[in-house]
Structures are given as structure tokens and as C-alpha cells.
């Protein structure tokens, strides 16, 4: 893989992660080759988009046989390798936080994960194998075990302060579930998982989906 | 508002919903006017994008005074009015499902919401004021009280069957939290809230965020 200093575009990383998931599934089913139109159909993009994405990361297939499943998985593994993040610090161990711990346990069993909450009833527990600490311990825990990804699952009014604290403790990427926009330094990557907004958006298209309606 | 038969683009609806949220906040703070660059900064888009979006929906501001907050909220209310969806049918009342019920209770108290689960320990309960039914009752409940939005918060292996059942019961928009791509008729809108994918994406950019690293 050539050295690259330019980060990949946001949406492209999303697609590469999704391609990898399908490729792993194909591998599990014993397949050795896959065509761009198959990956495209699975991801609801065009085959040309798939080919552009894979060309951008320096992987080429053959028009006759497609892409080698195992080779492409390995290539993506090098590119998407995130072991250097150390782990995930999750703030807010309510229902949403516990659902996220479940995703982390299933998808990323190889990472350190620490949960934090303000409520003493939730702290001290082990959920999905991960310890939940009092929020006061955030700085100490992250100093001992650096974690570059912060997940914010606290109420809207606490989200900005939580972001500042996580960043001060060394976090450089945030997944924000609170329905507010965070103000962070440019060096920090923020992805909003804005469930309230998605609910409104789906409601809009559910209404507009029927052709007899006018929008 | 002129009659429109073309649905608005996906990302634009997302931005309009977000603008409206900020406008409501501004209104609450007693503001009467807002400039495109203020909405742009809040949403991390360009001021030109904001002006294009609002021009597309037929709302114009003045370069001197910006947009009228109250007028724009009213205009958006007409456009984004989703009362005709009836309500939300949520399948899967685990931690994630209960977190979504919390969002619905806060953001959409005006809608009917019914939750469904396969586990008798979770059914029969009231969570955030919403009843949780046995999944067997899905068809009956939706026949009595039509709901056009389905929210899928079940494990991956149950997601496709859940989607088919919801669609057969009259749902035309799905918010899918399961980490799989659903196969649905073209008339059904699907939004994937793919938390596992977002976790991987943020991990990638958290790693790449530091300039000394090569990606």
C-alpha cells in the first residue's frame, strides 16, 4: 500500500467499511471472487462508484473475474486498521449507552472499552464485560489507558461539556448521539448519530413515499 | 407553498430538519432574524448551501436582515408536516429500543407509538408512556392504528423478516438499526442507522486525525 497523507473522504470510508463487512460475509460463504455490481447492489451505490472507490485505494479487479475476496479484505485491513486508537470511552451508560456497549462487544472485542456515568447506581457494574466508572474518573482512566474514540450518549445539555472533557483527555474522534451540534477543535473528528433527526427524516419520506401524495 | 410532486433529496431533508431545530432554539431565545452564515456554521455547511436549500423550498431572505425566524419555521412546518404518518411502530424493546422510545417521547409526543418484542418479559409493559406488545400482535395493532414508520431495533438475523412484516402491515418508511442491508420494494424508504459502521468510521478518523500519522 502506498504511503498516503491525505485522509480519505468521509462517505468513502463509510462505503469501504460496508464493503469489508460484505466481503467477510462472502468469505464465510466460501466465495473467492466478487463483482463490483454485487457490492454495488448490496450498498445501494452504482458499480462505477465501487470501482472508483477501490481504484482510489489502489486495488484493481478483472472485468472477467471481479475482485479477489480475500485479497481485498487484506488490502482493506491495512487501510482501515484502527488498532492505534487504543479503545473507546463511552460516556452515558443509560439504555443507549448499554446498546452501544453491546455493539462494541460484538464488533470490536479486541479493543479496550470503558464506560462512564454520573449516576452511582450505574457505575461499578460490568456490562458486556466492560466496567462502568464514575465520570470523575475519566481523566485518570484515560491517562492510564489512552483511548482515542469517545462516544457521547448523555442528554443534550451535558454533551458539549462531555466532548471538551474527552478531548482534553486525549480523544481525537467523537461519535455523538446527543441531538446537539458540538463545538470542537478542527483536529477532532465528529460524527453525529442524530437519532431524533433520522426519525423525522424517515417520517418525511414515509409520508412522501406514496405517489398519490404531494410534498 | 406550491404543489410539488418531486420528493426532496435525502440529504436536503436532513438539513431542513436540522435548520428547523436551530430556528426553534433561536425563537426560544427571542431572536426574530437569522443569517444564512449562522445556520451554515451550526450545520457545518456553507452559507451558499443554506441559501440554495431555502431557495429550493421557495423561501427567500434579505441580504440585509437575513431570514425571519418565525416565518421560516412556519414554512418548514408546512413542508415537513408528517402528521399523516399516523405513528411509529418500533420492533425490538431492548436497550436500544427503549432509548428510541425516549427520543420519540421527547421529540414526537404528538404521535402514536407502539413497541413490539418477542420476549414476554418485555411485553405488556409501558415504557415512556408507550405500550409494548407481543410481536404476534403487530398486524392487529397496525390494522387498528395505521403507522407508516417502522423502527427496526432487533438483532441482525431478525431484521429482514421484521421489515417484510412491517411493510405488509402498511409501513412505508423504515429506520433500520440492525447492521444489515434490507431488501425492500422501491416504494419503501429505508434509512440505515448503522451504529457498528459509525463506530468503525470514527475509529478510522480518530486514528487519522493526528497529522503525524499516515493513512
Q: Cβ distance B151 to B88 under 8 Å?
A: yes
Chain B CA closest to residue A14: B201
Looking at residue A19, what is its pLDDT? Answer: 94
How many angstroms separate the CA atoms of B87 and B85, rounded?
6
Question: Per-residue pLDDT tens for A107-122?
Answer: 888 889 999 999 988 8
Question: Per-residue pLDDT tens for A155-169?
Answer: 999 999 999 999 999
- Residue A126 forms contact with B (CB below 8 Å): no
- Residue A204 forms contact with B (CB below 8 Å): yes
A117, β-bridge pairs: A134
How many angstroms separate the CA atoms of A110 and A87, rounded?
9
Q: Is A152 helix (H, G, I), strand (E, B) or coil?
A: strand
Distance of CA A108 to the CA centre of its chain: 11
Whether residue A62 is predicted with pLDDT greater than 90 in this model: the reply is: no
Average pLDDT for chain B: 89
pLDDT band at A83 (very low <50, low <70, confident <90, very high): confident
Looking at residue B6, what is its pLDDT? Answer: 59
For A134, the enclosing helix (H) or strand (E) is: strand A130-134
Chain B CA closest to residue A78: B215
**What are the DSSP calls for B47-116, one per residue?**
HHHHHHHHHHTT---BTTTBEEHHHHHHHHHHHS--GGG-EEEEE--SHHHHHHHHHHHHH-TTSEEEEE
Cell triple for A197: 433527526
Whether residue A71 is predicted with pLDDT greater than 50 in this model: the reply is: yes
How many angstroms separate the CA atoms of B140 and B138, rounded?
6
A152, β-bridge pairs: A91, A176
Collect all residues of chain B within an 8 Å Cβ-Cβ radius of residue A211. 187
- Residue A3 forms contact with B (CB below 8 Å): yes
Overall average pLDDT of the B38-59 stretch: 91
Closest CB to A96: pick one of B4, B13, B96: B96
Burial letters A83-113, b for 16+ CB under 10 A, else e: eebbbbbbbbbbbbbbbbbbbbeebbeebeb
How many angstroms separate the CA atoms of B111 and B3, rounded?
25
CB contact under 8 A, A204 and B148: no
How many angstroms separate the CA atoms of A156 and A192, rounded?
12
CB contact under 8 A, A199 and B5: no
How many angstroms separate the CA atoms of A67 and A52, rounded?
13
Chain A CA closest to residue B12: A201
- Residue A183 forms contact with B (CB below 8 Å): no
Closest CB to B197: pick one of A5, A17, A82: A17
3-state helix, strand, coil in chain A (%, to 5): 45, 15, 35
Cell triple for A6: 491525505
Closest CB to A107: pick one of B80, B108, B196: B196
- Residue B199 forms contact with A (CB below 8 Å): yes
Closest CB to B193: pick one of A6, A98, A193: A193
Give helix A10-28 / helix A69-79 axis angle, nearest 10°. Answer: 140
Question: Per-residue pLDDT tens for B53-105?
Answer: 999 999 988 888 999 999 999 999 999 988 889 999 999 999 999 999 998 99
CB contact under 8 A, B17 and A44: no
State the nearest Cα–Cα gap between A39 and chain B, in angstroms. 11
How many angstroms separate the CA atoms of B95 and A90, rounded?
15
How many angstroms separate the CA atoms of A45 and A12, rounded?
11
Closest CB to A82: pick one of B44, B96, B207: B207
Identify the CA nearest to B92 among candidates B137, B150, B154, B139. B154
Amino acid at each position: 500500500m502506498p504511503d498516503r497523507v491525505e485522509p480519505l473522504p468521509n462517505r468513502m470510508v463509510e462505503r469501504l467499511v460496508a464493503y469489508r463487512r460484505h466481503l467477510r460475509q462472502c468469505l464465510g460463504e466460501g466465495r473467492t471472487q466478487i463483482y463490483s455490481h454485487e457490492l454495488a447492489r448490496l450498498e445501494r451505490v452504482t458499480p462505477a462508484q465501487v470501482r472508483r472507490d477501490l481504484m482510489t485505494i489502489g486495488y484493481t479487479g478483472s472485468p472477467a473475474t471481479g475482485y479477489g475476496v480475500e485479497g481485498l479484505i487484506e488490502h482493506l485491513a491495512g487501510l482501515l486498521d484502527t488498532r492505534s486508537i487504543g479503545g473507546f470511552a463511552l460516556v452515558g451508560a443509560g439504555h443507549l449507552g448499554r446498546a452501544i456497549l453491546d455493539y462494541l462487544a460484538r464488533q470490536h472485542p479486541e479493543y479496550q472499552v470503558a464506560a462512564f456515568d454520573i449516576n452511582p447506581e450505574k457505575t461499578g457494574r460490568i456490562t458486556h464485560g466492560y466496567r462502568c466508572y464514575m465520570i470523575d474518573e475519566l481523566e485518570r482512566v484515560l491517562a492510564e489507558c489512552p483511548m482515542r474514540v469517545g462516544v457521547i450518549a448523555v442528554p443534550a445539555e451535558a454533551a458539549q461539556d462531555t466532548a471538551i472533557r474527552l478531548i482534553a483527555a486525549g480523544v481525537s474522534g467523537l461519535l455523538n448521539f446527543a441531538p446537539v451540534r458540538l463545538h470542537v477543535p478542527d483536529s477532532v473528528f465528529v460524527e453525529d448519530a442524530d437519532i431524533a433527526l433520522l426519525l423525522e427524516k424517515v417520517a418525511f419520506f414515509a409520508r412522501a413515499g406514496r405517489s398519490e401524495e404531494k410534498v
